[in-house]
Amino acid sequence: MPSDALEHDQQQQQQRRGDRRGAAPLNESRLAGALDRDRILYSTEFRRLSGVTQVVSPGQEEIFHNRLTHTLKVAQVGRRLAERLNANCPEACISWGGADPDVVEAAAMAHDLGHPPFGHLAEEELDRCIRNAIAGEPSGQLQGTPVNKPTDPKDGFGPSEGYEGNAQSFRIVTRLAIRKDADSPFGLDLSRATLNATLKYPRLFSPATPKYGAYQADEEAFRFAREGSPTTDAVPCLEAQIMDWADDITYSVHDVEDFYRAGLIPLDRLVNHTLEQNRFQQWVESRWPRISAKNGLGQMSFITIISNIFSALIQVGGPYNGTKESRAQIYKVSSELINRFVTGTMVRKLATGITEALDIPQKLRAEVAILKELIWRYVIQSPALAAQQHGQREVIRSLFRILYDATDDGRHYLFPAAFRDAAQQFSTETASADRARLVADAVASLSDNQALRLYQRLTASSQGSVLDPIIR
């Protein structure tokens, strides 16, 4: 157990971590992390996630996870991880500044708020559109060679910020979200600890940074979040690392479950038929150098890891058919996988040179990576999804172009209501970067269905009704 002096230091650290940029809550019995969790839960931005793509758009015939149900599961897994790590590794957790379950849960609930409609593909399109608009291409259109993110960070990212989902999440909770005071500059006014825990990439944008946690415009909030953090600028705090690992666990397990239920991932054939196993192994083998490098797996044998996964899936008896037995089988598999990943995780004590707080066996990291490959192999690269995503990219490009043009000629009424006042202040004299950021904020605030309906209305694909508002 920690000494009295260590307990005193911990109490002081907890008090500082509860600081907010706005006014301290009056007559508040909840601890800072619990209050943050509740503020996020009741926000409009959190509710929007029920209409945002996880892997496929909500509203399909199958009951897939959407971005909200994914987020709730990340929050649950993250909380249980933090509780378990505090019980098993208390001194190691304290050395990193603490692992408050409320803070981890709150950060997990905030981590995907910046996902635009249609998920990651819209992040890529908004990134290109912003960069092209700032570069002076008319209306942010993609002309010539698109401004793609390089695969090697040393290639650089050009002089301007684009769009980053993690940075957008931070921007939402610190600036765009509204509580009781419409004029508050602090968003949800979350505590320092929760803001720090949302920073999976604790750095501001720079031209050579492939991933970052905050835009330059949000530097003040970023500096507040990181003040007094026990980790360096490049290293996320323990609570952020717990949240990130919970995200990986949840995504890898529940999306495999979704697409097995839908008949797209043939778990039964992968377990029982050599031919399907060999096909998947060949797929993984072609991608293993990249997978291994990304996850720090060294020279681990992918065949061994695949065998471990197949052994874990052995309880899947056949194709999913919706019976009680079939539902119980896949529920048991999912539960056992999550338990395996959670109980296998420990915390290292903070020391010079240590950047990874979580001590996760390589075999568990590899198993999570292989589960993600099932989703890539059988779902993401399927022609049906690729065709759908092609159309979704066009929706994002068109919305950006139309709204960006609207900041030039005074058609601010085309914007969703939450951004109309800001758009009204813009003109041709406004810097392209500011206009592009406002347009990205507006597009990213939409659900999948809102984006489609707004696109149809603005392009005359569907006239709608004059009694229907644009977006409220």
Q: Domain range spanning residue 394?
A: 386-458
- 186 with 307, same domain: the answer is no
191 within some domain: yes
Q: Is the separation of the CB atoms in 283 and 265 below 8 Å?
A: no
- 105 with 206, same domain: the answer is yes
Domain boundary among the residues 203, 226, 249 is at 226
Helix (H, G, I), strand (E, B) or coil at 27: coil
400 within some domain: yes
- pLDDT tens figures, 232-283: 778 999 999 999 999 999 999 988 888 888 888 888 888 888 888 888 888 8
Domain with residue 50: its CATH number is 1.10.3210.10
465 within some domain: no
CA distance 187 to 173: 5
16 within some domain: no
- pLDDT tens figures, 15-26: 678 899 988 787
Number of domains in the chain: 3
End-to-end Cα spacing for the chain: 53
135 within some domain: yes
Higher pLDDT, 142 or 31: 31
pTM metric for this prediction: 0.89
- 151 with 189, same domain: the answer is yes
- Residue 199 confidence class, pLDDT cut points 50, 70, 90: very high
Compute the average pLDDT of residues 179-198. 91
CA distance 456 to 460: 6
Averaged pLDDT of the chain:
85
9 within some domain: no
Domain boundary among the residues 196, 226, 256 is at 226
Look at the block and give the residue holding tokens 């009741």: 42
Higher pLDDT, 378 or 58: 378
Helices first, then strands: H and E counts in the chain: 20, 2
Question: Quick check: 212 pLDDT over 90?
Answer: yes
- 193 with 295, same domain: the answer is no
Alpha-helix residue ranges (DSSP H) falling in 215-356: 219-226, 238-261, 267-272, 274-295, 302-312, 324-343
Question: Quick check: 183 pLDDT over 60?
Answer: yes
- 263 with 352, same domain: the answer is yes
Look at the block and give the residue holding tokens 């290639």: 155
Domain boundary among the residues 383, 411, 441 is at 383
Closest CA to 193 of 32, 397, 427, 11: 32
- 109 with 187, same domain: the answer is yes
- Could you tell me which residues are beta bridge partners of residue 346? 359
- 391 with 379, same domain: the answer is no
392 within some domain: yes
Q: Is the separation of the CB atoms in 204 and 212 below 8 Å?
A: yes
- 214 with 261, same domain: the answer is no
- 213 with 292, same domain: the answer is no
- 350 with 308, same domain: the answer is yes
